[in-house]
Amino acid sequence: MPPEPNTFVADLIRWYLLHKRDLPWRGTHDPYKIWLSEIILQQTRVDQGLPYYIKFVERYPTVEALAFAPQEEVLRLWQGLGYYSRARNLHQCAKFITDCLNGKFPKLYSQLIKLKGIGPYTAAAIASIAFGEKVPVIDGNVFRVFSRILGIKLNIAESGSRKVFFDGAKELMQGQDPEIFNQAIMEFGALCCLPKKPKCEECVVQSSCYAFAHNQQKSLPLKEKQVKVRDRYFNYLVFYAGNKVLAHKRISGDIWEGLYDFYNIETTRLLAAKSILAKLPTQISKKITLISVSPDYKHILTHQRIYARFFTIEINDLNFAELVIKNFSLQSFSRHSLQGIPKPRLIDRFLVDEKIYIT
């Protein structure tokens, strides 16, 4: 039997008050800091996201400070977190709040959800924690806790399922402090009702948990959605012109928009040196020297597996370098300045491995 709603909620809140982690965004009702923490923690573990949150708050203590920052600086600070559209949306949203809303966040869920990069979960977190609106957060933790405890067998990958969980959570939170209720459910999912190895022996509602009683912890929540992953093969040409390195800025609409990498020839498989040089115009291939070929790199994204090989190339005629820069839309950087521009993690790994940075 499922637990009585009042007992279920009371037990979870009691557990939360005893076991909650001491995190810097807890105990604040500043919507900026709540928003920042939620955006950083999307697709990111707390232990990975915490240093980024601290860096952002130190560098940009207010939404106005973030709005006035150059986008490249924001992307550089974000480097390593991945999903760079989050950082771009974060910056654009900060600009909108500063320029159009006088630096004030909307107080209602229905208004917050209209802002760029703020979805239902983040809007609910800000509205409930910063402004006390009784609106539940529905994330992976909440799906998992309610599915297991209440025995809800809906496919959470289907959009219609979210409304069932939302309506059920909203009913449960009536008469509760929405800030405490939401954080209790999320924390319980993060610390106790874990995806693969739930701590059932420590669970405060174990005696009336449907999944525990029926040994269905592994099968709940139901999630039947296949993510199509495609393989891509990047052959990077790392051009050197004297003590300068030539890099390329990714264009609008790209997954790495605004970040820098090297001139890339994408193929259906990684190429050998002879094959990659043959793809260059003759007037360029005659005036360069291949210095080295890197080991192969593998970089996994949500929908892509990227295989990369880096070809380090010296331009023999420095006057000729301008033609390479123009033909391949490159920019020239010293090794020191290269460290300060935003780059995908894949590029940063190569630069570190090859000791190209000057520290």
Active site members: 38
Copy the structure tokens of residue 97.
Answer: 């709040």
Identify whether the C-beta of residue 299 lies closer than 8 Å to the C-beta of residue 233. Answer: no
Would you tell me how many other CB atoms lie within 10 Å of the CB of residue 167? 11
**What is the dihedral sign for C-alpha 18, 20, 23, 29?**
negative
Residue type (1 letter), 223: K
* CB atoms inside a 10 Å sphere around CB 237: 23
Q: Could you tell me the CA-to-CA distances from 10 to 135, 170, 171, 207, 337 in Å, in that order? A: 18, 15, 14, 15, 55
Q: Cα–Cα distance between 304 and 276 in angstroms, integer?
A: 23
Identify whether the C-beta of residue 262 lies closer than 8 Å to the C-beta of residue 276.
Answer: no
* 304-315 and 297-300 beta bridge pairing: antiparallel
